[in-house]
């Protein structure tokens, strides 16, 4: 055991001192934090450039004054103007774009064109289409001779937001978010796939390096091949755990700082009596209400993040990273022992890579339907469970399924390690010959 610890210490210290380890340790948290922060930051940023859009209708004034302007978006309705004449120089006239509305729009939805020199953002096109849709609906309803139609439409205009609440077996209620759960599932599944592949490949390259440099011949003289293989696998696993610990710590610090910066204290605003300006339908009042709603939404996002079972997710991530890594690292180590260079690894990498890719593809489906039978079975199969189960956990997984998946992964790891050790013991001292699958099968049948 003392010899194994020496190998572990050597593998660990040589890798944590590398510049690549330090760079990845610092950059990865920035990337992970950015996946949470950037969408929130974008929500708080607004395009403050004032834009004016010229509105031209062919032979009708059906929509004149019906598209409301905003603080930074204005609409100017032009009369007796030919579209072809203004199309070439609308930028010089100070217009951001031209909105051309055909009378056919009441029965042909695509009879609207927005001409501009730049691709219009989604909020502009959405604002225009919503306004025109409401006006067309109003015009069609007028054919039914409904009195006080405008007042009725104002009263029935309703926005619906579905608030998801998760109830535990004890009756405890927690607010959740399907979007955040999907984001966590995506990040977890991708990270498990990437880390398993990256650190497993490091084991394989390390074995090939020592084999081609003939250093392994000296090492094998004082330590058993199995001990050497386990020392390398565990040493690199500890490197991954160290990196993961720093990732969690740095990401938490970055998100905490971002939360304090991006979310101002709006309690003073919301606790004050609503002024007449805010209650009114004026653009200024609507802007103030919109800003309060946006800040509230951002607070709800961070509040929902606080309700996520982080301990379960982090523990499961560490377990499935270690389990998946140990399973595949033993296979990578056996491939490295069987060949003399990385070029020869291609024929043996395919059976190892395919289950990882299948797990990744199934995990993608888990984002949409985490309870499907395919996702369920692949979250139990040990070769794919590290990726697929991590994609399911943010949506909630029964403890018996999680426990069964973990037990099967441990048993499979023990089995693959035993098989890999038999290949490693024979192949580590074999030079100058490219083994075939038939020959590797013979190695597996050798008695100790």
Structure confidence by residue, pLDDT tens digits, 425-441:
777 777 666 777 777 78
pLDDT of residue 268: 46
pLDDT of residue 378: 92
pLDDT of residue 225: 75
Q: What is the pLDDT of residues 85-122, one digit of tens each?
A: 788 788 888 888 888 888 787 777 777 888 888 888 77
Domains of the chain as residue ranges with CATH: 2-40+179-445 (no CATH), 51-153 (3.40.190.10)
**C-alpha pair distances (Å), 422 with each of 294, 336, 419, 427, 448:** 61, 13, 5, 9, 8
C-alpha 335/C-alpha 8 separation (Å) is 20
Q: What is the pLDDT of residues 31-52, one digit of tens each?
A: 766 766 676 666 556 666 788 8
**C-alpha pair distances (Å), 424 with each of 183, 343, 440:** 39, 18, 10
pLDDT for residue 352 is more than 70: yes
Cα dihedral: 191, 194, 198, 203 (round 10): 80
Evaluate whether 418 touches 402 at the Cβ level (below 8 Å).
no
pLDDT of residue 42: 64
C-alpha 116/C-alpha 90 separation (Å) is 9
Chain mean pLDDT for the chain: 76
pLDDT for residue 188 is more than 50: yes
pLDDT for residue 27 is more than 90: no
pLDDT of residue 295: 54
Q: Tokens 């800003």 identify what position?
A: 291
pLDDT of residue 140: 80
C-alpha 327/C-alpha 303 separation (Å) is 37
pLDDT of residue 342: 72
| Banded pLDDT at 407 (limits 50, 70, 90) | very high
C-alpha 426/C-alpha 445 separation (Å) is 11
Q: Tokens 């072809």 identify what position?
A: 84
Q: What percent of the chain has pLDDT over 90?
A: 4
User: What's the chain look like in SS3?
Assistant: CHHHHHHHHHHHHHHHCCHHHHHHHHHHHHHHHHHHHHHHHHHHCCCCCCEEEEEEECCCCCCCCCCCCCCCEEEEEECCCCHHHHHCCCCCCCCCEEEEECHHHHCCCCCEEEEECCCCCHHHHHHHHHHHHHHHHHHHHHCCCCCCHHHHHHHHCCCCCCCEEEECCCCCEEEECHHHHHHHHHHHHHHHHHHHHHHHHHHHHHHHHHHHCCHHHHHHCCCCHHHHHHHHHHHHHHHHHHHHHHHHHHHHHHHHHHHHHHCCCCHHHHHCCCCHHHHCCCHHHHHHHHHHHHHHHHHHHHHHHHHCCHHHHHHHHHHHHHHHHHHHHHHHHHHHHHCCCHHHHHHHHHHHHHHHHHHHHHHHHHCCCCCCHHHHHHCCCCCCHHHHHHHHHHHCCCHHHHHHHHHHHHHHHHHHHHHHHHHHHHHCCCCCCCCCHHHHHHHHHCCC
pLDDT for residue 393 is more than 80: yes
Q: What is the pLDDT of residues 242-301, one digit of tens each?
A: 888 888 788 778 777 766 765 554 444 444 444 444 444 444 444 444 555 555 555 555
pLDDT for residue 422 is more than 70: yes
pLDDT for residue 13 is more than 80: yes
pLDDT greater at residue 299 or residue 200? 200
What is the mean pLDDT of the segment spanning 176-202? 78
What is the mean pLDDT of the segment spanning 148-154? 70
pLDDT greater at residue 24 or residue 258? 24
């Amino acid at each position: 055991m003392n010899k194994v610890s020496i190998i572990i210490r050597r593998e660990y210290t040589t890798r944590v001192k590398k510049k690549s380890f330090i760079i990845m340790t610092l950059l990865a948290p920035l990337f992970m934090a950015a996946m949470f922060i950037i969408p929130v930051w974008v929500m708080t940023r607004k395009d403050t450039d004032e834009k004016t859009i010229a509105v031209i209708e062919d032979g009708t004034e059906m929509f004149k004054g019906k598209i409301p302007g905003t603080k930074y978006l204005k609409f100017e309705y032009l009369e007796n103007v030919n579209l072809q004449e203004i199309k070439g120089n609308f930028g010089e006239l100070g217009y951001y774009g031209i909105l051309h509305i055909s009378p056919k729009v009441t029965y042909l939805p695509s009879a609207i064109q927005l001409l501009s020199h730049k691709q219009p953002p989604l909020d502009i096109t959405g604002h225009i289409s919503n306004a025109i849709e409401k006006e067309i609906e109003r015009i069609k309803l007028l054919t039914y001779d409904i009195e006080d139609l405008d007042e009725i439409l104002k009263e029935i205009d309703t926005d619906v937001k579905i608030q998801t609440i998760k109830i535990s077996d004890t009756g405890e209620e927690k607010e959740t978010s399907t979007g955040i759960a999907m984001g966590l599932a995506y990040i977890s599944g991708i990270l498990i796939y990437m880390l398993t592949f990256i650190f497993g490949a490091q084991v394989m390259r390390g074995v090939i390096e020592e084999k081609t440099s003939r250093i392994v011949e000296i090492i094998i003289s004082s330590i058993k091949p199995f001990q050497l293989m386990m020392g390398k696998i565990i040493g690199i696993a500890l490197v991954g755990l160290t990196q993961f610990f720093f990732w969690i710590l740095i990401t938490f610090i970055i998100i905490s700082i971002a939360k304090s910066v991006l979310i101002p204290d709006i309690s003073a605003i919301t606790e004050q009596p609503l002024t007449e300006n805010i209650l009114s339908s004026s653009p200024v009042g609507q802007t103030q209400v919109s800003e309060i709603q946006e800040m509230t939404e951002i607070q709800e996002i961070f509040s929902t993040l606080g309700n996520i079972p982080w301990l379960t997710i982090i523990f499961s991530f560490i377990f499935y990273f270690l389990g998946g890594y140990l399973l595949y690292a033993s296979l990578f180590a056996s491939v490295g022992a069987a060949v003399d260079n990385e070029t020869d690894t291609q024929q043996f990498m395919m059976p190892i890579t395919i289950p990882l890719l299948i797990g990744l593809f199934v995990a993608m489906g888990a984002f949409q339907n985490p309870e499907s039978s395919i996702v369920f079975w692949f979250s139990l199969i040990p070769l794919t469970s590290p990726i697929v189960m991590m994609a399911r956990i943010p949506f909630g997984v029964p403890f018996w399924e999680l426990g069964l998946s973990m037990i099967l992964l441990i048993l499979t790891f023990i089995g693959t390690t035993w098989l890999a050790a038999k290949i490693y013991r024979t192949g580590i001292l074999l030079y100058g010959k490219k083994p075939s699958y038939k020959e590797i099968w013979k190695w597996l049948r050798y008695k100790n």
